[in-house]
Structure 1
């Protein structure tokens, strides 16, 4: 009996040891999965090559990317005071990572200009100072694009409304905001000719309408119009049915029998003349 109890005791101890090992491996795997997920997230935010256009959008994307990598504060430069050896080493590593990420995401032409910059703050300030001024010239172009935009009949209206909304958003990034109600009224005024009656109906409404609500209304109307248009398959089916109803052609008069096909009554055989001897 004592031997049985001792065996059971050792068996339970082995099970507990295996359970602790499995929990340790699971927690380690969980930590690795979180790290890999964060690394994958930072990698997914990697930008396209910056060519000097749309610097506001590029700066926003860089902020999201570098925040995920925990290096966004490097654009502010080195903190004041004397750094310890460990702090200086960490600063150098983070600075090199910041500069390397920026340089690797510049176009080849811009890389030649900024390849010699080794400080994160100096590089960032140079890019912002140059291309923020360049974006100021794009403000007039965007204003003209918004003013001159006209919708066409052979393109989806909702997609064209989204294009107008994108122009407005670009102006907003350039510190030139446009009121939402004004944008909605402009979209109504830019609707194509086939939507003239619908635009008049919207203009007669006195309450204010947002751009989002207007686009939702246009989407419902566009889907309803698309549903009302007969499809090619339906047209072919209707024409086939017409052929089955009138198999002799579209002209109904052709269905009448020809007058030349009428038959006369036959005479009595006894009264018919013999053509051989001319007798009755």
Structure 2
């Protein structure tokens, strides 16, 4: 039984694997009908291009896996209180202020050593 070339070409396009859907759609939407020989050439070229793309992607991943990049934090010292990072060390030497009134004048807010009414303060 002899089948028309366009029918065989259409069948060949439909029998392409599922991951070739984009190429299948491209061939279906072409205005010009391809002969069977041209279609076979196109499919062979597309197949080699896809294999080459997969091989290139594999090489790219392999070269990226062995690439060692410099760590930006490695150049800095391990002191987390360096300038410019916004962190300041906590100070534990807070001055303890005694609560209460002055012994000389009796007013709050200062002590006898700072009092203005004290006889020895000039």
TM-score normalised to structure 2 length: 0.53
One of 204, 219, 223 as aligned partner of 2:44 = 219
In 1, Cα distance between the equivalents of 2:77 and 2:51?
46
Please give the residue correspondences for 1:25-174 in structure 2 after superposition, counting only pairs within 5 Å.
none
1:130-160 Cα shifts (integer Å, max 9, x gaps): xxxxxxxxxxxxxxxxxxxxxxxxxxxxxxx
SS of aligned partner of 2:66: helix
In 2, Cα distance between the equivalents of 1:260 and 1:210?
71
Tell whether 2:12 aligns with 1:187. yes
In 2, Cα distance between the equivalents of 1:238 and 1:203?
38
Tell whether 2:55 aligns with 1:235. no
Deviation of the 1:255 alpha carbon: 5.7
Structure 2 CA distance for partners of 1:235 and 1:217, relative to 1, 3 Å: same
One of 5, 18, 30 as aligned partner of 1:205 = 30
SS of aligned partner of 2:33: coil
In 1, Cα distance between the equivalents of 2:29 and 2:62?
41
Q: Which residue of 2 aligns with 1:259?
A: 79
CA RMSD of aligned residues (A): 2.6
TM-score normalised to structure 1 length: 0.25
Between the two proteins, the alignment pairs up a number of residues equal to 81
Q: Which runs of no fewer than 5 residues in structure 2 stay unpaired?
A: 83-122
Q: Which runs of no fewer than 5 residues in structure 1 stay unpaired?
A: 1-175, 263-280
Deviation of the 1:196 alpha carbon: 1.1
Deviation of the 1:188 alpha carbon: 0.9
